Amino acid sequence: MKGKTNQRPVLVIGAGPIGMTAALALRRFDIPTTIIEAEPKERIRPGSRAIYFHKATLKHWEDIYPGLGFTFAKHGVVWPVKRTLFGGKEVYIKRYPAPNRNELPPFTSLPQVEAEKFLYEACVAAGVEFIWNSPVRQVETNENGVIVTTESGKVWEADYAIGADGARSVVRQSLGIELEGPRSRDRFVVVDIEEDPSAPLPLERVFHYQHPAMEGRNVLFVPFAGGWRVDLQLFAEDDAQQYGSIEGVRQWIPKVMDKKYADRITWVSMYQFHQAVGPYVHR
């Protein structure tokens, strides 16, 4: 075996929300836990990414690290109204009661970078060890546990390892674990827009089915702490570059929002829905 071997009870591969949540849950049971992350500690995470956290998730965080769920609730946005429109006409509205400080809200909305900040602070306080800037090259299993080799050649051994290294998981690739489930061919443009603090929009989640100003494309508006998430569902024949580039977004945003927001775009990306998960695997 090449390289220096480092023994740990449990290794978590990936310091995203899932990896840090898993580490906190392990520490709740006093299990020593080490997270190995490919990126450096000072990594820059562009965009809001995952912004919406359900009550069940907040409750889980509160259970494994008391106070964490309420931290998310305090710093996120709990919008009081959600609306659904079809062809420009309102067909549904739901109003939420004002949040009770002593109860977790039904949801909260804040950028993933903020979520990771709170999770990291909780992990450090709970005694989780972090190994930064260490991309994993290979994962092997045997009768004694798990062997993890990083790109630097460093070798780690553990009784157990948790793969939380994202859609292009090296853990899954190494062990031949395929994601299973349906994958949509629909494409979506996702845009982060900084709010205008001098004249903010009402905090409402609004879903337009067949938005009349967008030739019938679906448009979703979701407020989060500091800004707005705008999702545009493309038609199959749409030119992704036309709608998904910065210049393209600046062309269509004024059709669905005040034109000032075309100059407040902070991030643009595209995605497809994948309802795919890895099968339960214990090796």
**Tens digit of pLDDT at every position of the chain (283 positions):** 444 569 999 999 999 999 999 999 999 999 999 999 999 998 888 888 899 999 999 999 999 999 999 999 999 999 999 999 999 999 999 999 988 889 999 999 999 999 999 999 999 999 999 999 999 999 999 999 999 999 999 999 999 999 999 988 999 999 998 887 787 788 999 999 999 999 999 999 999 999 999 999 999 999 999 999 999 999 999 999 899 999 999 999 999 999 999 999 999 999 987 777 766 665 5
273 Cβ contact list (under 8 Å, min separation 6) = 183, 184, 186, 188
Phi, psi of 4 (to 5 degrees): -80, 135
Q: What pLDDT is stored for residue 274 in this prediction?
A: 72
Phi, psi angles (nearest 5°) of residue 195:
-70, 155
Residue 1's pLDDT is what?
41
Task: Enumerate the CATH 3.50.50.60 domain ranges in the chain, comma separated.
Answer: 5-51+111-175
- pTM assigned to the model: 0.91
- State the pLDDT at residue 280: 60
| CATH architecture label of 79-106+183-278 | 2-Layer Sandwich (3.30)
Q: What is the pLDDT of residue 127?
A: 99
Which residues of the chain form CATH 3.30.9?
Answer: 79-106+183-278
**CATH for 5-51+111-175 (1.20.210.10, 3.60.15.10, 3.30.70.1140, 3.50.50.60):** 3.50.50.60
Copy the structure tokens of residue 10.
Answer: 């449990």
One-character DSSP codes across 134-196: --EEEEEEETTEEEEEETTS-EEEEEEEEE---TT-HHHHHHTPPPBS-B----EEEEEEE--
* C-alpha angle 128-25-140 in degrees, rounded to nearest 5: 70
Alpha-carbon gap, residue 228 to 110, rounded angstroms? 10
